Amino acid sequence: THAPAPPPPVQAGADLETVVELTPDQAVSGTRLELELPGGTVVECWSPPLAGDGWRLRLAGVAPGGGDHFLQLRVRTAEGLSIEGLRVLYKLDLSPPEAALGCKVVVPTLQGPVQLRVPPGSSSGRLLRLRGRGLVQSEQRGDQLVEIRITVPEQLDEAEEALYRRLAQLSDQDLVDP
């Protein structure tokens, strides 16, 4: 007689991930999350206070087959804004003339658009602070930080190229033709 075939090996459950959207207020204070998993199981958990955009919460062993289920937190904000604790972050693209000469621009905030003065001589990576434009927790209010990024046009017309070459000459820079 033949012995019965052994049972198939037990496979570890695959990890799953779900994106969960939070409002800025939910991100600051923490919130109860209820999630229906594949197979109909409902789990409840809490997002921690001051949860940032992109944070991942691990629900150990709740996915089918005993795998982990990760919740990726996304904080809903105006386009281009991100949340880090009580701070709001925004990356501002400027042209070389705007950065060199200074300018006034309108930037989004959680409270709506505001005008920001960019000082002359601003370089990529410089942070400008909008005091009190971040999130609020109890008596604390965060700031919004605006990071300057200088962007150069991919295509220059003849006049623009001539101006950049003249600028390079004035600053004693030797250019190598591409």
Q: Is 10's pLDDT higher than 50?
A: no
Do 90 and 54 lie in one domain? The reply is no
The CATH number of the domain holding residue 48 is 2.60.260.20
The pTM is what?
Answer: 0.67
Q: Establish if 1 belongs to a structural domain.
A: no
Q: Which domain holds residue 143?
A: 81-152
Which residues fall within 8 angstroms of residue 129, CB to CB, at 6 or more apart?
143, 144, 145, 146
- Arithmetic mean of pLDDT over the chain: 86
Last residue of a domain, one of 54, 75, 96: 75
The residue with greater pLDDT, 13 or 18, is 18
Last residue of a domain, one of 57, 75, 93: 75
Could you give the C-alpha distances from 20 to 76, 124, 132, in angstroms and in order? 10, 33, 27
Do 20 and 61 lie in one domain? The reply is yes
Q: Is 11's pLDDT higher than 60?
A: no
| Phi, psi values for residue 168, rounded to 5° | -65, -40
The tens digit of pLDDT for each residue in 62-83 reads: 877 788 889 898 888 878 888 8
Q: Is 95's pLDDT higher than 80?
A: yes
The tens digit of pLDDT for each residue in 22-48 reads: 888 888 788 898 888 777 778 888 988
Do 40 and 85 lie in one domain? The reply is no
The tens digit of pLDDT for each residue in 146-170 reads: 999 999 999 999 999 999 889 888 8
Do 65 and 88 lie in one domain? The reply is no
Do 49 and 69 lie in one domain? The reply is yes
Q: How many domains are there within the chain?
A: 2
CB 104 within 8 A of CB 118: yes
Do 49 and 96 lie in one domain? The reply is no
Do 52 and 85 lie in one domain? The reply is no
> No. of H helices and E strands in the chain?
3, 13
Q: Establish if 159 belongs to a structural domain.
A: no
At residue 125 the predicted structure's pLDDT band, cuts being 50, 70 and 90, is very high
